[in-house]
Amino acid sequence: MTFRSASSSAITPALRLVRERVRDTISFASSAAHVLILDRWPVRQLRAVGRAINDGVSEALASVMPKGLYVRALVIVIAPMILLQSILAYVFMERHWQTVTERLSAALSQDIAALVDLNEALGPGKRDVLERIAAERLNLDVELMPPIPLPPPAPKPFFQFFDEALAKEIRRHIRRPYWVDTIGRSNLIEIRVQLDDATLRVVAHRSQAYASNSGIFLAWMAGSSLFLLTIAVLFLRNQIRPILSLADAAESFGKGRDIEFRPRGAREVRKAGHAFIEMKRRLERMIDQRTTMLAGVSHDLRTVLTRFRLSLELLGEAPEVEEMRGDVNEMSRMLEGYLAFARGDGGEQPQAIDVRALLDALKTDAERSGHRAAFSITGDPVAVVRPRSFKRCLTNLVSNAARYAERIEIDAVHDARVLTITVDDDGPGIPRDRREDVFKPFLRLDEARNLDTSGTGLGLTIARDIARAHGGDITLSDSPLGGLRATVRVPG
């Protein structure tokens, strides 16, 4: 019993200690987790601030940067080059040119100070010795003139660091009245020092007080920059040209024009070009398959309609037969509308047409149906479009206006780039919020002008498709005549 009691009394403190350690560990872990959870909020806020700053900088750069890829690439190349050259020029002027100029100015000032001291030591009778020593030993042209007053200060040059450095060294070494001229002579410097009984005139070469290699360095830096910039411009033009060719090919394909395109340039550009060519082939194959299918369907349906017409002709004249003949004709018109919508331009090539003759034909057709019509044209009457499809586009617009109006006006404006044709009428018009809906195929709106009980709902749809196939569009707006205005804009 004693042994158990002793063992129990020995184990109990150990268990208590273990429990306390476990409790402390759990408490520390929960506190750490709580701190980590709380600390995540400042991190999120910092990330949000960083994203906001990044977005702001991106928007600022986007507003300043040019829009074209070629100009942007030039800026990316030129800006670091200018920055690097500016840093190099600053380091050169600050560390080399300025230091060398100060040392040369100090050496020249010390030479002049030595000449002043030598003049005082030699006395008045030994001035020729002073001039000889200055010319042979110091390469200076020295002259002792009568004690005349010093000239007024010369005008300061635009870049006056050299004058300031030389004047500072003269004041420090000579401590007499002086006058410096660095402008009046091209490659020489004239310095006059007021002595007790004379004026010391010293003429030195500019290279004796000025670091002359700065011009060579700056010229070399500017020349190398221009050379590298020329190479960069030529290289960038060669790199940008394939991208522009791809964009032109895509735009031409979107307008229905078939141009030859061969991928060139970098690997990524060639990859995009091959992808465009493959997409173009798939679309053309799909269009060809659809056209072939529609040609077969058209042939079959027209055969059936022809049999209907022959059967009706054999029945003779009767009111019922006339109604059936009207239904057959309406079915034929609907079939033609569906086929025209599905067929598109049918691969028609652009040609030069006489816009005046086309508008005159549309005016004549409108007048034959009992409408008052007029047309006008401004600018070049010749435009390059797909003749049949473009005529169908305008015919659909004029027919849509004639169905609901009595007066129709057609105006054309042809400038150097765009052909704009407006068709105005005095009909009831279309509400502004429903104008885009009338371009949707097969969508019947009771109040819409492009549909009636006998229509197919494809008139304006086909017209817009034709305009967009030309690279333009059709918009609807209010007409000055009180009805609807349809505006066609296509590249001309």
Q: What is the pLDDT of residues 7-30, one digit of tens each?
A: 344 445 544 654 565 456 555 455
Cβ atoms of 386 and 345 within 8 Å: the answer is yes
Residue closest to 162 by CA, chosen among 104, 201, 92: 104
- Which parts of 65-124 fold into alpha helices (H)? 69-91, 98-122
Query: How many angstroms separate the CA atoms of 50 and 39, rounded?
Result: 17
Residue closest to 470 by CA, chosen among 357, 344, 375: 344
Q: Report the predicted TM-score, pTM, of the whole model to 2 decimal places.
A: 0.49
Give the CATH fold of the 347-491 domain. Answer: Heat Shock Protein 90 (3.30.565)
- In order of 68, 416, 468, 485, the CA distances from 252 in angstroms are 20, 18, 12, 29
Query: How many angstroms separate the CA atoms of 170 and 106, rounded?
Result: 8
- In the chain, the N- to C-terminal Cα span, in Å, equals 116
In this prediction, residue 474 carries a pLDDT of 93
Phi, psi dihedrals of residue 456, rounded to the nearest 5°:
-95, -15
Residues of the chain with pLDDT under 50: 1-11, 14-15, 18, 22, 28, 32-33, 35-39, 158-159, 446-454
Q: What is the dihedral of CA 430, 432, 438, 443, to 10 degrees?
A: -100
> Which token pair is 387?
């003749």
The contacts of residue 452 (CB under 8 Å, 6+ apart) are 403
Q: Read off the amino acid at residue 136.
A: E
In this prediction, residue 69 carries a pLDDT of 76
Q: What is the CA radius of gyration of the chain?
A: 47
Question: Hey, which CATH number is domain 90-212, 3.40.50, 1.10.1060, 2.60.120, 3.30.450?
Answer: 3.30.450
Query: How many angstroms separate the CA atoms of 92 and 88, rounded?
Result: 6
What is the per-residue burial (b if ≥16 Cβ within 10 Å, else e) of 56-80?
A: eeeeeeeeeeeeeebeebbeebeee
Query: How many angstroms separate the CA atoms of 191 and 193, rounded?
Result: 7
Cβ atoms of 470 and 256 within 8 Å: the answer is yes
- In order of 38, 39, 54, the CA distances from 45 in angstroms are 12, 10, 14
In this prediction, residue 340 carries a pLDDT of 64
Measured in whole angstroms, the distance separating CA 479 from the mean position of its chain's CA atoms is 37
SS3 of residue 427 by DSSP? coil
The contacts of residue 183 (CB under 8 Å, 6+ apart) are 154, 155, 157
In this prediction, residue 188 carries a pLDDT of 81
Beta bridge partner(s), residue 491 = 418
Q: Which residue is it, tokens 């091959």? A: 274
DSSP letters along 132-149, please? HHHHHHS--EEEEE--PP
Which strand (E) or helix (H) includes residue 412?
strand 407-414
Return the number of other C-beta atoms located less than 10 Å from residue 475's C-beta: 15
